[in-house]
A and B are shown apart, each in its own frame.
Chain A
Amino acid sequence: MTQDFRIDGGLVDRKQTLKFSFNGRDMYGYAGDTLASALLANGQRLVARSFKYHRPRGIFSAGSEEPNALVHLGQGARLEPNTRATVTELFDGLHASSQNHRGSLEHDFMAVNDRLSQFLSAGFYYKTFMWPKSFWEKVYEPVIRASAGLGKLSMQPDPDTYDKGFLHCDILIIGAGPAGLAAALASGHAGARVILADEDFLLGGRLNSDTQSIGEQSGAHWAQDSLAELASMSNVRILRRSTVYGAFDHGIYGILERKTDHLADGGGKPRHVLWRVYSKRAILCAGATERSIAFANNDRPGIMLSGAVRSYANRWGVAAGKKVAVFTNNDSGWQTAADLSAMGISISAVIDTRDIVAPMAISGAALVMGGRIKDTRGRKALDAITLTSGLTVPVDCLAVSGGWSPNVQLTCHQRGRPQWNDAIAAFVPGGELPKGLTVAGAASGQMTLAAALKSGRKTAGQALVDLGFKYTSAPALKASDEAFSVTPFWHVSGSKRAWVDLQNDVTTKDIKQAQREGFQSVEHLKRYTTMGMATDQGKTANVLGLAVMAEATGQSIPQTGTTIFRPPYSPVALGAFGGRAVGNEFRPTRLTPSHKWATECGAVFTETGAWMRAQWFVRAGETHWRESVDREVRDTRASVGICDVSTLGKIDIQGRDAAAFLNKVYANGFARLAVGKVRYGIMLREDGLCYDDGTTARLSETHYVMTTTTANAGLVYQRLEFARQCLWPDMDVHVISVTDGWAQYAVAGPNARKLLQKIVDPEHDIATEAFGFMACGDVTVCGGTAARLFRISFSGELAYEIAVPTRYGDGLIRALMSAGREFDVTAYGVEALSVMRIEKGHPVGSELTGQTTALELGMDRMVSKTKDSIGSALSQRSELQRDDGRRLVGLIPVDTSDTLTAGAHFLDIGAAAKMENDLGWMTSVAHSPTLGHSIGLGFVKLGHIRHGDVIRAWDGVRGTDIKVEITSPHFYDPKGGLQRA
C-alpha cells in the first residue's frame, strides 16, 4: 500500500522509511509515526471489531485514551493482545493484526451480533441465561467465555524480561506538555532534583499537535528547545515512554517505562522497567482528553475526536480523510477545521451545536450553527453524515469535539473526588489529593496554552518554596491564548443507537435502560453497563455517560456524581509487575555450607523455606527414595551418620543479664545453666501456646549461643529483639544472628565419638567422662581450626554437633566423610533425620504448630511454675490445662503392613466419621527401618491414658481406614541410654 493520506508537514522523519505489516499486508511509515498514524497514512480505516456487536471500528483518538484501535502486536510468543495502535511507536518490521473477529476483519461472522442488539443490551447476561438452569454450566458459560474478551494470548511463556527499580526526586512532574515543561524548567533552574515523565516518545504534549506559538517559536520547537535545556541539567531526569500509572502513599508513584517496545530488537535488555518513585512533591501536568458527542451510528471508522484529527495532520503529516466535516460544541473543533484547511485538506462542513455566530470562516465549508447530526452512513467506514435538517454531506472523516476533560485520574488514587466546573463543562481535581501532589495546566482546568504555561511555572514555584529552594519568578512566557469556549451538548436524541463508550459498546439506550431499571447511582451505572471499564477506563466515555444519566434522571451532573479512578492509569503488563522475579529467581535461595559437596554426592534436594537441603543421597543401585532413606537410618544407627544442620537458627547472645534474659524467654529454667553446658528449651507465645524449641549453650558467664528451628529462626530472633528492646530495655543483653556464620554438622551413631576423635585436635578430650551428654565447648579441629562442639542428639544416638566458621564448612564435611570411611560413615538427609526424630518422638513443626500446648506435647513439666517467663501465666489457663484434652502419642498400625498417613483423623472403633467423634489427628508418619513398619505421631484425646488402646486412623482424603495402637511417642530407646553413652 502507498501512503495516500500522507501530507506535507509533521514531525516525522521522512528520511527513515519503516516497513511494517497489518493483517499480513506490507505497509510503510516513517520514524516518528505511531502504528495508528501509519495505518491512517496508508488509508487503513477499518482496524478492529467492537467488543459486543462486532461493529467495524477505526482509529478514534491519538493517545492512550484510544477505545477502538486495539490490535495484536508481535508474533509467536511475543504476540501481545489489546495493544493500542495510537501509542504504539512504529519500528521497522512491526507486525500487527486485528482482533475480535471470526473470519476476516472485513467479513466477521460475529457481526451477526449487531442484528441481535436488542437482545444484547445492558445487563442482558443477568437476565437472559436463567433457564433451563442446567444449560448454564454446559452451554451458556462456555459460549460466553469463548466470545468474551478482545485479543488472544499467545499461550506461550513470555520470552521478554522485565525489571524494576527505585528513583528518588524532590519534584516529580507528570506529563511533559506545556505546563509540565514550564514546571520542569522552573524546578530545574532552582536546583531541585526533578524527574519529568511522559508516556509519549516525543515529549511536548499538545504542543506537537497544535500550531500555537510560544514567543517567536512554534510550540513544538519550544518544547524541543526546553527539553534540550532540561537534558543539559544534571539535576533533571527525563523519562520518555514512561507512564505514571499510580499515586500511592507517602509521595510514592509508580512509573512504567517502556524500554524496548519501540525497537525491532531489544538487545536482550528488559522490555519494561517498573519504577517506584519516592518524591517530596509531585505536579500533575497530565493535560486533558477530548470527549465525543453521542449521535446515531457515531462509531463508524472515520469518526474521530477532533483533536486527534488535528494531531494526525500537524504532528504526523497525515490526513485522516480527504473530505472532512467537524461536529463540535466548542471552539476547539474550529481549530481543527482551520488547521486542516490551512494544510489543504477539504473541509466539507463545520456543524456547531451552539447557536452563535461562526467564530471564523473556513474556506469551502458549510458552516451550520446550532446544527445536529442525525445519522451517519458507510458500511465499513464513514461515507456520509445526515443532519437533523435533512442535509446529507458526503465525508470520509468526521472530527467530533464534545469538549475536553482534565486528566484527573491520579488525583483520585487516594480517593480524591473530582468536582464539576461549569466554566469548562468538566470535572476538575477535587477533594483530598495525594499528599504532596498539586495540579497544573489543563489537568487543573487551565485549558489554554498561556494559562497552562503560567500555572505550570506557578505550581512549581510553590513546590520549590515548600521544599526550601530559592525560586525567582521569571517573566511570563508569551503564548497565544487560544479561544476556549464550550457550551455543553451531550447527545442528539433519536431512536437509533448512539455510542457513549466505544470500547464496551455502551450506547445512550443502555444508560437510559439502566436508569429505568434503577441503576442510577454512578457506581451501579458503571457496573451494570460496563461503561468505563477495560483498557481505556472510559477516558473518552465517562463524562458523556454521566451527562446522559443526569439528563435521564433530571439531575445536574454534579448531583449525579462521578466514579473515581484507581491505578493503573493505563494498562501495565503483568510481566512488569513480576519484574525479574520469575522461574528459579522468584525468590532467593539459601545454600548450606555442604551444598557443593552434597551435589557431587548425588543429593536430592528439598526446599525448606528458602533453604535447599539434601533430602537424601542416592547411591548406585538405589532406585527408590525409601531405599536411600532406610539405608541412611540403618547405617547411622549401626555405625555413624553425618547431616548438615547449619540451617538451624543460631543466635549469639551476650550481656551481663543474658542468663536472666534467657530465663524469661524460655519456659523452662535457664538461670543456672553451667558454663560448658547445653540445655533444651521450649518457648511459649504470650498466650501460653508453644511456638518453638531448641537448645542454648553457655559459652561463658556472659555469652550464649541459641539454636532455633530452621523455620522459626527469623521469628525467634525478632521476638528476642522485641523482648530486649521493649519488654526489658534495662537488661544488658545483645543478640546477633550467626546462622550463616557457622557450618554445623550432626555426627550421630555409636561410632560418632571415634570419628570425631580423628578430627578434633588431640588436646581436646571428648571422651564421655570429660565431655558428657549436653556438654559444649570451644575446640580446634584438623590442626588448629577454631570450632565449637556440642554433645546433643536429635536422632537418639550418641551424637555431637560440630561447628566451624562457614568458610571451612565444605572442607569439614569432606574431612568428616574421609575420616569416617573406616566406620562406613553415611551422609544422611532431612528425610532420614525426620525418620529418626519420629522414632525418638521429638516434636517438630508438625507438632509445634503454634496451636499446641506444652501439656499436649507432654512437656508440661518443663513450664516452670517458680519463675515468670513469656507465656507462663497464660499457659496455666484452665482450658490449656484440661485433663481430658489431647496428648501427643505414638501410633503403630495393628496390621504392620499398613502404611500410616499424616493428616488422618482418629476415631474409636465403630464410631462414625463425624466431627463429634473426632479424637485427634496424625501429625507425622514414617516408615521405621529400625522397627520394620510404619509409625506415627499424633494428638489423641486422653491419649496419655490410652496407651495400648486400638483406634482407627481414618483418612477421608486418601480413602484409608487403618486400625492403630496407641503407644508412647518414644519408639526408640525411650530411656535415652544411647545418647548418654
Chain B
Amino acid sequence: MPEFALAAVSALDGYSQDFDGAVLREVTDLEIVSVAVPIAGQKKLAAKIKSAYGCAVPKPTTTTQSKDGLVRLVSTQADQFLLLFDTATPDGGDKVAAQLNTAGYITDQTDNWAVLRLSGPNSRTALERICPVDLHPDVFALNASARTHMEHLGVLVIRTEADAFLLLSARSSAKSFLHAVVVSVKNVT
C-alpha cells in the first residue's frame, strides 16, 4: 500500500445546474485521445479505424460514431482527429494505441480539456451570446462540429442531439469558460 495516493479531480468539480429550458453539466468521464494521420498513412489509418470502430475518419467540421455508438470521432484539423469515449479508467491513449497499432500518432488529450454539456430548448439561444458559429439546426446538423472561440477561449463545439451540445475548452481556463456559458444561459433564461 503506497504511503500517498492521488485522487483525481475534475476541471469544474462536477458542475451541474438546471436553468429554465437549459441544463448545464460538466462531463467528467469522457476520455479524449487525439490521432494524427501520418504522411502517406491515410489509407492505412482509415482501414484501421474502419476495422476497430466500424466507421470512417471524419471529414473537417464533422464527426462520425463507432458502430456501437460508444466512440465519437471528431475532426479537428486536416491531419488530426479526436476520439471521445467514456471510460472508467484513465488509460484512453493506451486503449486507442492498442486498437490502431502505430497506424496513427496518439496523444492522450483528456486532461487538456474541460467538457460541458449544454442541452435544452434554450441552449442555442444561450450560445448565441458567445458562439460566432451558426448553430441553426439546418446549418449545424446533428453530429456537426466546429472549432471556434468563445470569450477569447478556444472551443470545440459538437452537436450531439437535437438540442444538446458538447463544449470542449482548455482545462486551465475552465472556470472562465464556465462563467462565460453560465452568464449566457442566465442572460437568456
Binding site for B on A (CB under 8 A): 161, 163-168, 193, 269-270, 273, 276, 278, 580-581, 585, 587-592, 610-611, 646, 652, 654-656, 702-703, 730-732, 734, 736-742, 758-759, 761, 781-786, 804-808, 810-812, 815, 818-819
Evaluate whether A758 and B111 lie within 8 angstroms (CB atoms) in the complex, with A167-B128, A168-B136, A168-B139 already known. Answer: no
| In the bound complex, CA of A212 to CA of B80 (Å) | 63
Given the complex, which residues of A lie within 8 Å of B108, measured CB to CB?
741, 805
Q: Are A652 and B134 in contact (CB under 8 A)?
A: no
| In the bound complex, CA of A785 to CA of B153 (Å) | 30
For the residues of A in contact with B, the DSSP-based class is: mixed
Given the complex, which residues of A lie within 8 Å of B153, measured CB to CB?
588
Binding site for A on B (CB under 8 A): 1-11, 34, 36, 38-40, 79-80, 90, 105, 107-113, 128-134, 136, 139, 151-153, 170-173, 175-177, 179-180, 183-184, 187
Q: Are A269 and B187 in contact (CB under 8 A)?
A: yes
Q: Are B39 and A732 in contact (CB under 8 A)?
A: yes
| In the bound complex, CA of A589 to CA of B173 (Å) | 6
| In the bound complex, CA of A812 to CA of B5 (Å) | 8
Q: Are B110 and A741 in contact (CB under 8 A)?
A: yes
Shortest Cβ distance from A685 into chain B, in angstroms? 25
Given the complex, which residues of B lie within 8 Å of A808, measured CB to CB?
6-8
Point out the residue from B4, B128, B131, B172 that lies within 8 Å of A782, measured CB to CB.
Answer: B4
Ranked 10 nearest A-B pairs via Cβ: A783-B2, A734-B36, A811-B6, A588-B176, A815-B4, A741-B112, A168-B134, A654-B105, A806-B111, A590-B172
Point out the residue from A587, A656, A758, A759 that lies within 8 Å of B152, measured CB to CB.
Answer: A587
12 more contacts with CB within 8 A, not counting A278-B134, A591-B175, A592-B172, are: A161-B187, A166-B129, A655-B36, A741-B171, A782-B4, A784-B2, A807-B90, A808-B6, A808-B8, A810-B9, A811-B5, A811-B6
Q: Are B113 and A740 in contact (CB under 8 A)?
A: yes
Q: Which residue of A lies closest to B177 (CB)?
A: A588
Point out the residue from B39, B128, B151, B180 that lies within 8 Å of A730, measured CB to CB.
Answer: B39
Q: Are B6 and A740 in contact (CB under 8 A)?
A: no
Evaluate whether A193 and B6 lie within 8 angstroms (CB atoms) in the complex, with A269-B187, A736-B36 already known. Answer: no
Q: Are B6 and A166 in contact (CB under 8 A)?
A: no
Q: Are A589 and B176 in contact (CB under 8 A)?
A: yes
Given the complex, which residues of B lie within 8 Å of A164, measured CB to CB?
129
Point out the residue from A702, A732, A737 that lies within 8 Å of B112, measured CB to CB.
Answer: A737
Given the complex, which residues of A lie within 8 Å of B105, measured CB to CB?
654-655, 702-703, 734
| In the bound complex, CA of A147 to CA of B107 (Å) | 66
Q: Which residue of A lies closest to B112 (CB)?
A: A741
Q: Which residue of A lies closest to B171 (CB)?
A: A740
Given the complex, which residues of A lie within 8 Å of B139, measured CB to CB?
168
Point out the residue from A270, A588, A734, A804 that lies within 8 Å of B187, measured CB to CB.
Answer: A270
Shortest Cβ distance from A918 into chain B, in angstroms? 40
Q: Which residue of A lies closest to B8 (CB)?
A: A807
Shortest Cβ distance from A728 into chain B, in angstroms? 11
| In the bound complex, CA of A786 to CA of B92 (Å) | 12
Q: Which residue of A lies closest to B131 (CB)?
A: A166
Q: Are B111 and A740 in contact (CB under 8 A)?
A: yes
Q: Which residue of A lies closest to B10 (CB)?
A: A807
| In the bound complex, CA of A734 to CA of B107 (Å) | 10
Evaluate whether A732 and B38 lie within 8 angstroms (CB atoms) in the complex, with A758-B4, A807-B111 already known. Answer: yes
Q: Are A819 and B79 in contact (CB under 8 A)?
A: no
| In the bound complex, CA of A620 to CA of B130 (Å) | 44
| In the bound complex, CA of A739 to CA of B173 (Å) | 12
Shortest Cβ distance from A821 into chain B, in angstroms? 12
Q: Are A805 and B2 in contact (CB under 8 A)?
A: no
Shortest Cβ distance from A253 into chain B, in angstroms? 14
Q: Are A740 and B4 in contact (CB under 8 A)?
A: no
Question: Interface centre among B128, B133, B180, by most A CB within 10 Å?
Answer: B128
A-B contact pairs, 11 of them (CB 8 A): A581-B151, A585-B179, A652-B107, A703-B105, A734-B79, A759-B4, A805-B111, A806-B111, A806-B112, A807-B110, A811-B5
Q: Are A163 and B170 in contact (CB under 8 A)?
A: no
Question: Interface centre among A736, A738, A810, by most B CB within 10 Å?
Answer: A736
Point out the residue from A165, A193, A742 that lies within 8 Å of B128, measured CB to CB.
Answer: A165
Question: Interface centre among B112, B131, B132, by most A CB within 10 Å?
Answer: B112
| In the bound complex, CA of A691 to CA of B136 (Å) | 44
| In the bound complex, CA of A168 to CA of B140 (Å) | 12
Given the complex, which residues of A lie within 8 Å of B171, measured CB to CB?
740-741, 806
Question: Interface centre among A580, A702, A758, A784, by most B CB within 10 Å?
Answer: A580
Q: Which residue of B lies closest to A702 (CB)?
A: B105
Shortest Cβ distance from A351 into chain B, in angstroms? 53
| In the bound complex, CA of A508 to CA of B40 (Å) | 77
| In the bound complex, CA of A703 to CA of B93 (Å) | 14
| In the bound complex, CA of A591 to CA of B173 (Å) | 6
| In the bound complex, CA of A783 to CA of B139 (Å) | 49
| In the bound complex, CA of A646 to CA of B78 (Å) | 29
Given the complex, which residues of A lie within 8 Å of B110, measured CB to CB?
741, 805, 807
Q: Are B9 and A807 in contact (CB under 8 A)?
A: yes
| In the bound complex, CA of A107 to CA of B4 (Å) | 81
Given the complex, which residues of A lie within 8 Å of B133, measured CB to CB?
166
Evaluate whether A785 and B6 lie within 8 angstroms (CB atoms) in the complex, with A167-B128, A805-B90 already known. Answer: yes
| In the bound complex, CA of A278 to CA of B132 (Å) | 9
| In the bound complex, CA of A826 to CA of B36 (Å) | 41
| In the bound complex, CA of A656 to CA of B130 (Å) | 40
Given the complex, which residues of B lie within 8 Å of A273, measured CB to CB?
129
Q: Are A166 and B128 in contact (CB under 8 A)?
A: yes
Q: Are A811 and B7 in contact (CB under 8 A)?
A: yes
Shortest Cβ distance from B3 into chain A, in angstroms? 7
Q: Which residue of B lies closest to A588 (CB)?
A: B176
Shortest Cβ distance from B2 into chain A, in angstroms? 3
| In the bound complex, CA of A273 to CA of B188 (Å) | 11
| In the bound complex, CA of A732 to CA of B38 (Å) | 6
| In the bound complex, CA of A786 to CA of B177 (Å) | 28
| In the bound complex, CA of A808 to CA of B129 (Å) | 34
Shortest Cβ distance from B182 into chain A, in angstroms? 11
Evaluate whether A740 and B107 lie within 8 angstroms (CB atoms) in the complex, with A276-B132, A732-B39, A782-B6 already known. Answer: no
Q: Which residue of B lies closest to A658 (CB)?
A: B105
Shortest Cβ distance from A802 into chain B, in angstroms? 12
| In the bound complex, CA of A730 to CA of B175 (Å) | 40
Shortest Cβ distance from B94 into chain A, in angstroms? 9
Q: Which residue of A lies closest to B128 (CB)?
A: A165
| In the bound complex, CA of A58 to CA of B2 (Å) | 84
Q: Are A654 and B176 in contact (CB under 8 A)?
A: no
Given the complex, which residues of A lie within 8 Å of B151, measured CB to CB?
580-581, 588
Q: Are A165 and B129 in contact (CB under 8 A)?
A: yes
Given the complex, which residues of B lie within 8 Å of A581, measured CB to CB?
151
Q: Are B4 and A654 in contact (CB under 8 A)?
A: no
Given the complex, which residues of B lie within 8 Å of A587, measured CB to CB?
152
Point out the residue from B2, B112, B128, B134 that lies within 8 Å of A740, measured CB to CB.
Answer: B112
Q: Are B112 and A782 in contact (CB under 8 A)?
A: no
Question: Interface centre among B4, B40, B170, B173, by most A CB within 10 Å?
Answer: B4
Q: Are A758 and B3 in contact (CB under 8 A)?
A: yes
Given the complex, which residues of A lie within 8 Å of B179, measured CB to CB?
585
| In the bound complex, CA of A668 to CA of B135 (Å) | 48
Q: Are A738 and B112 in contact (CB under 8 A)?
A: yes
Q: Which residue of A lies closest to B36 (CB)?
A: A734
| In the bound complex, CA of A731 to CA of B38 (Å) | 10
Given the complex, which residues of A lie within 8 Å of B112, measured CB to CB?
737-741, 806
| In the bound complex, CA of A730 to CA of B79 (Å) | 13
| In the bound complex, CA of A670 to CA of B153 (Å) | 33
Shortest Cβ distance from A359 into chain B, in angstroms? 50
Given the complex, which residues of B lie within 8 Å of A270, measured CB to CB?
187
Q: Which residue of A lies closest to B32 (CB)?
A: A741
Given the complex, which residues of B lie within 8 Å of A734, measured CB to CB?
36, 38, 79-80, 105
Q: Are B175 and A804 in contact (CB under 8 A)?
A: no
| In the bound complex, CA of A742 to CA of B179 (Å) | 23
